[in-house]
Amino acid sequence: MQKNIEVISQWTESAQYWEKHRKIIRHMFAPVTQALMKAAAITRRGAFLDLATGPGEPALSIAELIGSEGTVVGTDPVAEMVEAARREGERRGLHNATFEVAFAENLPFPANSFDAVVSRFGVMFFASPADALRECLRVLKPGGRIAMAVWHFVEKNPFHYTVAQVLERYVDSPPPAPDSPDAFRFASPGKLQAVLSAAGAAATSERLLRFSIEAPISVESFWTLRSEMSEKLRRKIAALSKQQISALKHEVLESLKTYSSEQGISFPAEVLIVSGRKERAHELNREQLSSGGTL
Ligand SMILES: C[S@@+](CC[C@H](N)C(=O)[O-])C[C@H]1O[C@@H](n2cnc3c(N)ncnc32)[C@H](O)[C@@H]1O
């Protein structure tokens, strides 16, 4: 319960910034969205679920892809995120996308409801990834696929470490407690795949996605986006004096220049795409069938 209250308070303030920078975030992480849709085998027809959708991704991209022949539901426990997702769905006329407030560990859907479940940069923040993955398998139809994107090691991702390394010189940054919610909780190859297999998924696999995070923006705009998007960065920066913030910004802009050109910013990036499927009807045992409802 305490953990749930913390999650909501941390992400509630972030919602306004994720909505403000929505267009750039969508552009930067489009290769991850594409990889998830492929790993989850999302096709035109079907019912799809996007867990921890935040202000609506990848749900809105899926809605665009499937058109009127399919439906997608995005869920997030933070009402402000869900409202932002609904606003964007309405703005873009995506009537096949709906959004609901829900924790991944307790989904408000009957068993065997969805053809595929995806989640982009969500599972590492869940209070209980194991419970959430069991819930995903419950709401998936037999044979339905699940695909999740998590960050590979921070050293592989200058999108994260460029700002973090400079900030470390200004604020103490003790490492997070082992296995606590954090962007790099599932950075070790095999870790999330093992949790997915233990939850009961079949045919699990992991793919290392190497891509570029690109955006047609200046280093200054990137600094604003990065320092607003992350609750951790906002909290640490808020503890600094005005002079420290100005010195920090100056150093960050200098180190960001390596990744900047006339076209904007471009960071090499690495993400793990972990996927699997719910066992097919003939593979499920009696116990799974009774907990999963009718087939
Ligand atoms: C990094 S954001 C990702 C948002 C979106 N999927 C994207 O890629 O743009 C992480 C999201 O996880 C959500 N979250 C945190 N704990 C959760 C939980 N237990 N169940 C479902 N979502 C959760 C947060 O509210 C937040 O919106």
What mean pLDDT is predicted for residues 138-143? 98
In a domain, 132, yes or no: yes
**Which range in 7-11, 123-127, 231-235 is most confidently predicted, on average pLDDT?**
123-127
Q: What is the mean pLDDT of the chain?
A: 94
> Which residue has a Cα nearest atom 9 of ligand 1?
57
Q: Can you give the pLDDT at residue 216?
A: 97
**Do the beta carbons of residue 72 and residue 45 sit within 8 Å?**
no
In a domain, 100, yes or no: yes
In a domain, 225, yes or no: no
pLDDT above 70: percentage of residues in the chain: 96
187 contact partners, CB below 8 Å, separation of at least 6: 150, 151, 152, 153, 154, 272
Mutate which of 10, 24, 76 for ligand 1 pocket (most atoms within 8 A of beta carbon): 76
Closest C-alpha to 203, from 39, 51, 46: 39
CATH of residue 92 = 3.40.50.150
In a domain, 58, yes or no: yes
**Residue listed under structure tokens 């991944």:** 104
| DSSP per residue, 36-79 | HHHHTT--SSEEEEEET-TTTTTHHHHHHHHGGGEEEEEEES-H
In a domain, 176, yes or no: no
Lowest mean pLDDT among 1-10, 29-38, 161-170: 1-10
In a domain, 89, yes or no: yes
Q: Which domain holds residue 10?
A: 2-153+183-212+270-291
Number of domains in the chain: 1
Q: Is the dihedral of CA 31, 99, 86, 55 positive or negative?
A: negative
* Tens of pLDDT, residues 72-94: 999 999 999 999 999 999 999 99
Q: How far does residue 122's CA lie from ligand 1's centre (Å)?
A: 4
Confidence band, pLDDT 50/70/90 cuts, at residue 282: confident
In a domain, 130, yes or no: yes
Q: How far does residue 176's CA lie from ligand 1's centre (Å)?
A: 18
**Do the beta carbons of residue 65 and residue 37 sit within 8 Å?**
yes
Confidence band, pLDDT 50/70/90 cuts, at residue 287: low
**Do the beta carbons of residue 275 and residue 204 sit within 8 Å?**
yes
From CA 150, how far away is CA 199, in angstroms rounded?
18
What mean pLDDT is predicted for residues 270-287? 86
> Which residue has a Cα nearest atom 13 of ligand 1?
52
Q: What Cα–Cα distance (Å) separates residue 42 from each residue in 27, 58, 151?
A: 20, 12, 22
**Ligand 1 pocket by C-beta < 6 Å: which residues?**
7, 11, 25, 51-54, 57, 76-78, 81, 103-105, 120-122, 125-127
Output the CA angle 261-263-269, nearest 5 degrees.
75
**Do the beta carbons of residue 278 and residue 152 sit within 8 Å?**
no
In a domain, 236, yes or no: no
